Amino acid sequence: MRNPDNVFHLAIPCRDLDEAYDFYVTRLGCKLARRYNDRITLDFFGDQVVCHLSDQWDRDVTMYPRHFGVTFKDKQSYDNLLKLAKMRDIPFFQEPTHRFQGLVEEHETFFLIDPSNNLLEFKYYFDDRMMY
């Protein structure tokens, strides 16, 4: 179990702050913590994601090596998010997939893509020891 008092911190590029706000707050349901001229800071599922206005966003999107997201302990949380993504037409980079079937690492996963081509992965493992 991780320490509930600390916060993971991730800074990512975004090409437009309003776009980022629309994607993360209005659609994905994250909470806006702060807005500055050059960035917005988000409470992203309990951790902090900062979208920095920048021209260094990826023009070519590949699944590896860069992406980020949440691995849920609870299947319901994973399903709720998947339902939200579909209902609100958030673009999928990869549809929900069942990976490593028959192995201990078996999990469900899907990838979303934000307006600045950042990839978000959300996962649920059948054996929660595999979350790491």
Tokens of 99: 């990976």
- Parallel, antiparallel or unpaired: strands 107-113 and 92-99: antiparallel
| Shortest CB 79 distance to its own copies, Å | 9
Contact 63, 95 (CB under 8 A): no
* Residue tagged 């893509």 (tokens): 113
| Shortest CB 8 distance to its own copies, Å | 4
Q: How far is CA 89 from CA 37, 61, 85, in A?
A: 28, 19, 6
Site string (51-70) toward its own copies, x via CB under 8 A: -xxx-xx----x-xxxxxxx
Binding positions for its own copies, 69-98, rule CB under 8 A: 69-74, 77, 80-81, 83-84, 87-88
| Shortest CB 59 distance to its own copies, Å | 13
Rounded to whole angstroms, how far apart are CA atoms 10 and 49? 5
Q: Which residues bind its own copies (CB under 8 A)?
A: 1-14, 25-26, 29, 31-35, 41-43, 45-48, 52-54, 56-57, 62, 64-74, 77, 80-81, 83-84, 87-88, 102-104, 121, 123, 126-132
